[in-house]
Amino acid sequence: MKQPLNSSNLLVQALKYSIPVLLGYMAIGIAFGLLIVDAGYPWWISLITSVIMYAGAGQYLAVGLFAAGASLGEACLVQLVVNARHIAYGLSLFKRINQAGPYKFYLIFALTDETFALLSSLPAAAPGTEDAKPHRQGRLMFYIALLNQAYWVAGSLIGAIAGTLIPFNMEGISFALTALFIVLMIEQILRVKRPLPFVVSALAAILGTLLLPSRLSLLSAMVLSLVLVRLLDQGGKDRNNPGASPC
């Protein structure tokens, strides 16, 4: 009989599960630290933003916005538009996060793209077992989110200190974040073995880029892809269960 995971085992499980993010976050965290020092800010700004702001792409954007002299209001508006995708993330994980007890507040704060990718693909525990209880699932999710932020903070701090001590050529380094998104997407495709949602999302992104202004394309593509995937999934269930409809 499988024994329930204790707290240390949950932490080990979270560590193993978050290794892809460890490899990616250390790399792009270092890149962020290098960029923020290159923009003329002291190294400790990297640490503060990674602990308090913790927004990944939003932090990259913030460096460029403030370096270009954008006002606080303009920066907040851009961040709101760029991070509006987190509305969809929160809705997708609403039930899981709501059952996480005292961990839910941190999970809401720490829900980055990569953390969402991991949490949304967590394998469900066997029904009726100790590991299936919401508080244990919530603790596992908390450990995953906390480890992910720790990776990001460590990477950005290393990059900022290295950038202060050693001169670097920054050309092309900002592509690190995009590269991580691609790696996580490929891993999810291999894990869930359902290419349809990814194909629909790619088509929606292409349409959004071609037909809409840049400030609207990302959010519109996400909404369209979520609606289409939901409709296609529901249509597939109806075809597979023709007798399930009410009389």
Token digits of residue 5 = 């995971």
Structure confidence by residue, pLDDT tens digits, 4-45: 455 668 899 999 999 989 988 998 899 899 888 888 889 999
Q: DSSP letters of 9-38?
A: HHHHHHHHHTHHHHHHHHHHHHHHHHHHHH
User: Residue 211: its pLDDT value, please?
Assistant: 85
pLDDT band at 3 (very low <50, low <70, confident <90, very high): very low
User: Residue 144: its pLDDT value, please?
Assistant: 95
User: 97 and 90 in contact (C-beta within 8 Å)?
Assistant: yes
Structure confidence by residue, pLDDT tens digits, 46-81: 999 999 999 887 888 788 777 777 777 777 877 876
User: Residue 153: its pLDDT value, please?
Assistant: 96
Entry pTM: 0.68
Q: Which helix (H) or strand (E) holds 170?
A: none
- Give the Cα separation of 38 and 27 in Å (integer): 17
- Give the Cα separation of 51 and 166 in Å (integer): 24
Structure confidence by residue, pLDDT tens digits, 119-143: 988 876 545 555 556 678 889 999 9
- 146 pLDDT more than 80: yes
Position 108: which residue type?
I
